[in-house]
Structure 1
Amino acid sequence: MDSYGPGHRQTAERDASTPSRWGPAPGQLPSSLTELAGPTRGLVDLPLHLAWSGLRTFDLDDDKLLLGMYRIVLATGLREDYLRFLDGGLLVSHWPRLRKMVGRGVRMAWEDAFPPLRPRTGQAAA
């Protein structure tokens, strides 16, 4: 046993394909990016279960607010939230910036599931 307690070694050595507890649960992601048919313009009010503190209304015509809303939905949403609030085209076009705003578990889950979101050669994989 190391100084971090029992089970630490198994956690640290977990296979890279094992889903992260910080990413979406298995079965929560849509089967295709085309299923994401959320709004692309205008004002969007997120429900309290997603935006419980601070800003709840987002103007999708403002890139900064759009990115903020997508970060919230990606990080805390469930399948129904992805389908209702995300748009596949917007997700793909803004992913190079969004991938830096979400945790590793979220980023890996979405990129593993959807090849168009994977970084291109020469793009940072951070």
Structure 2
Amino acid sequence: MYREKFRGRLPESLDELHGPSQGVVELPLHMAWSGLTTYDLGKPRQCMGLYRPILHEGLREDLPRYLNRDLLLDLWPVLRTLIGRTVRAVSEDAFPQLSSRTQTAA
């Protein structure tokens, strides 16, 4: 059931992820309810910090709005180690491009 919850939030394709790739992003409270709410995409740690709550807490409409396809692919080899097993497994099952990035980085 937990896996189905996460799978239901994912877009059909990574190509639907048109979020920002630079600048400052402010997350709404339903995703950033604790800690930072504003993230500078020019700072790698903040970029990782932004993607984690989006992947865990974001609603179906949040993922295309806040995630950027190319940035997600670039971050994935490290980001996948920072997110929960379920989110990682569901994401990699849905998007083989993510798994291939991990194998390429290894």
TM-score, normalised on structure 1?
0.76
| Larger-gyration structure (1/2) | 1
What 5-or-longer segments of structure 1 have no aligned partner? 1-18
The Cα shift of 1:72 comes to: 0.9
What 5-or-longer segments of structure 2 have no aligned partner? none
| 2:9 aligned partner, one-letter code | Q
Identical columns (%): 49
TM-score, normalised on structure 2?
0.90
Task: Give the aligned partner of residue 81 of structure 1.
Answer: 62
Q: Decide whether the 8 Å contact of 1:24 with 1:78 is kept in 2.
A: no
More helix by share: 2
Task: Give the aligned partner of residue 50 of structure 1.
Answer: 31
Aligned residues: 104
- CA-based RMSD of the aligned residues comes to 1.8
Q: After TM superposition, which residue ranges in structure 1, 4 or more long, deviate above 4 angstroms?
A: none
| 1:103 aligned partner, one-letter code | G
Q: Which has the higher relative contact order, 1 or 2, with Cα contacts under 8 A spaced 6 or more apart?
A: 2
Q: Decide whether the 8 Å contact of 2:7 with 2:91 is kept in 1.
A: no
- Pair 70,90 (structure 1): closer, same or farther in 2 beyond 3 Å: same
